[in-house]
């Protein structure tokens, strides 16, 4: 076994005598705890770039402590924009070796090219922006109407992060009645793009007024997830305005370009929302102050008009009362002169009417007294005949009642038989053995029980 491993290692030294440059995406980064050594896989992702799917190729990489310090110095000299994390595409230098204890081929890393990573990020970003613009998605969010009083907010970020704390603290200190629907998502790593896209759709489905997508600062490679196509399309596809606050002042991502509005930091994003509500509050206060001032001015004008009308009414009332007094005095004089004549004429008319009533009443009474006497005479003549006829009809009815009296029939020996419910028994078919019968005779009742029932032959 050792000889085979040495033979493979020797063949690799012959095939690759010098170090080689290799590009790929970092995956399964393990910084290690002993000696500062770092392990990871350098992979070629699936064609759509989704690192959660099986990769096309993979090779292990080991970065020993001394080489790691040199690589970190190179990254620091590049401004700290590139950080070796899962999902970062890099171009690295190293020697192809064979690790016989692990039985695998690996790259022993010695250097890195930060400009390659930054260039690929910029190129991918520009290519995605052109595609979104061609589809009309780049400006779709900007065309949405931003609510004037956004009090129900969706917050998409990593739970417990500084970004979440800054946003919630800013909203809380405002004293306004904000309600926040939160989505805990990954903001870094191979699954971050899919997680953020899910979070955006989840909070938008909860009926929020605005969605806040925020993340704290970091290296360019740390924020590269917000240049992903998945997040860009998720932002552009929402019907709710999305505000972003990603990174620091100088950072700009595709998510910022696609969003309704982009702010420099998570805090600035929250401050913008508070300012929107404060502006409406200020306009409302100013409107009410304007209404109050206009009401006071209108009240003063109406009060002055009322006082003027009161003075006019008082003058007109005094003039009208004086004219009415003069007219009343003149009418009183005319009424006094005509009252005596009118009273004499009315007395004469009343005396004549009284005479007519008395003479007409006496004649009417005499006519009715004669009619009453004639009617009385006719009634006295007809009364005996009517009474005799009524007596004869009464005797006939009494004879019929005696003829149909059941007691007379029972006295001759007849009887009446009823069942237990009091119904008269007319046919044996209505009876059953065991039924109770009540037979009424002239001097009482007899109770019996049916033994057999026989129909008439």
Angle at which helix 229-237 crosses helix 192-204, to 10 degrees, equals: 10
Q: What is the pLDDT of residue 254?
A: 86
In this prediction, residue 448 has a pLDDT band, given cuts at 50, 70 and 90, of very high
Q: Position of tokens 């009296």?
A: 405
Task: Give the structural domain span for 202.
Answer: 137-278
Taking only the tens place, the pLDDT of each residue in 253-282 is: 888 999 999 999 999 999 999 999 999 888
57, 77, 112 - which closes a domain: 112
Q: What is the pLDDT of residue 357?
A: 64
- How far apart (Å, rounded) are the C-alpha atoms in residues 96 and 391? 149
Give, in order, the Cα–Cα distances in Å from 305 to each of 110, 296, 297, 312: 95, 14, 12, 11
Taking only the tens place, the pLDDT of each residue in 331-362 is: 877 777 776 676 677 677 877 777 776 776 67
Asked whether residue 118 is domain-assigned, the answer is no
Asked whether residue 224 is domain-assigned, the answer is yes
In this prediction, residue 96 has a pLDDT band, given cuts at 50, 70 and 90, of confident
Same domain, 163 and 233: yes
Q: Inform me whether the pLDDT recorded for 397 exceeds 70.
A: yes
Q: What is the pLDDT of residue 12?
A: 78
Give, in order, the Cα–Cα distances in Å from 85 to each of 29, 89, 183, 422: 7, 9, 23, 106
Average pLDDT for residues 190-204, to the nearest whole number?
90
In this prediction, residue 251 has a pLDDT band, given cuts at 50, 70 and 90, of low
- Phi and psi of 155, rounded to 5°? -120, 115
Q: Inform me whether the pLDDT recorded for 457 exceeds 60.
A: no
Q: Inform me whether the pLDDT recorded for 118 exceeds 80.
A: no
Q: What is the pLDDT of residue 370?
A: 77
In this prediction, residue 114 has a pLDDT band, given cuts at 50, 70 and 90, of confident
- How far apart (Å, rounded) are the C-alpha atoms in residues 326 and 321? 9
Average pLDDT for residues 409-420, to the nearest whole number?
83
Asked whether residue 359 is domain-assigned, the answer is no
Taking only the tens place, the pLDDT of each residue in 217-227 is: 776 666 777 88
Number of domains in the chain: 3
Burial class (CB in 10 A: 0-12, 13-18, 19+), 384: exposed
pTM of the model: 0.49
112, 147, 167 - which closes a domain: 112
SS3 content of the chain, % helix, strand, coil (to 5): 55, 20, 30
In this prediction, residue 212 has a pLDDT band, given cuts at 50, 70 and 90, of very high
Same domain, 79 and 189: no
Pairing of strands 444-449, 261-263: unpaired
235, 255, 278 - which closes a domain: 278
Share of the chain above pLDDT 90, in %: 22
Same domain, 52 and 96: yes
Q: Inform me whether the pLDDT recorded for 328 exceeds 70.
A: yes
CA angle at 271 for the pair 268 and 274, rounded to the nearest 5°? 160
């Amino acid at each position: 076994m050792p000889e085979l491993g040495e033979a493979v290692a020797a063949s690799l030294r012959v095939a690759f005598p010098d170090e080689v440059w290799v590009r790929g995406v970092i995956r399964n980064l393990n910084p290690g705890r002993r000696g500062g050594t770092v392990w990871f896989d350098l992979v070629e992702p699936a064609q759509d770039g989704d690192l959660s799917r099986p990769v096309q190729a993979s090779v292990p990489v080991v970065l020993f402590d001394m080489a790691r310090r040199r690589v970190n110095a190179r990254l620091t000299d590049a401004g700290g924009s590139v950080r070796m994390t899962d999902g970062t595409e890099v171009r690295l230098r190293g020697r192809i070796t064979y690790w016989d204890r692990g039985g695998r081929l690996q790259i022993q890393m010695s250097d890195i090219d930060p400009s390659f990573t930054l260039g690929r990020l910029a190129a991918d970003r520009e290519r995605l922006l052109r595609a979104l613009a061609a589809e009309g998605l780049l400006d779709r969010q900007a065309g949405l109407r931003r609510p004037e009083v956004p009090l129900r907010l969706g917050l998409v970020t990593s739970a417990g992060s500084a970004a979440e704390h800054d946003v919630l603290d800013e909203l809380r200190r405002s004293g306004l009645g904000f309600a926040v629907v939160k989505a805990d998502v990954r903001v870094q790593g191979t699954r971050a793009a899919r997680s953020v896209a899910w979070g955006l759709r989840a909070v938008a489905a909860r009926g929020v007024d605005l969605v806040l997508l925020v993340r704290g600062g970091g290296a360019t490679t740390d924020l590269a997830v917000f240049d992903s196509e998945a997040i860009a399309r998720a932002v552009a596809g929402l019907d709710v305005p999305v505000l972003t606050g990603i990174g620091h002042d100088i950072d700009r991502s595709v998510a910022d370009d696609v969003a309704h509005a982009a702010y420099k930091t998570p805090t600035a994003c929250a401050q913008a929302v508070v300012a929107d509500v404060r502006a409406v509050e200020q306009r409302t206060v100013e409107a009410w102050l304007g209404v109050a001032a206009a009401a006071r001015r209108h009240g003063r004008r109406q009060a002055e008009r009322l006082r003027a009308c009161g003075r006019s009414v008082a003058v007109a009332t005094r003039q009208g009362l004086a004219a009415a007094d003069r007219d009343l005095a003149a009418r009183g004089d005319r009424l006094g002169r005509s009252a005596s004549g009118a009273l004499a004429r009315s007395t004469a008319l009343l005396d004549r009417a009284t005479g007519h009533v008395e003479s007409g009443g006496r004649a009417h009474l005499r006519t009715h007294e004669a009619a009453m006497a004639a009617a009385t005479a006719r009634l006295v003549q007809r009364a005996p005949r009517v009474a005799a006829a009524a007596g004869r009809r009464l005797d006939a009815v009494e004879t019929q009642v005696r003829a149909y009296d059941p007691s007379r029939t029972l006295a001759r020996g007849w009887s009446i038989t009823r069942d237990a419910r009091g119904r008269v028994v007319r046919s044996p078919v209505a009876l059953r053995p065991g039924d109770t019968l009540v037979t009424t005779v002239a001097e009482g009742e007899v109770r019996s029980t049916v033994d057999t029932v026989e129909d008439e032959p």
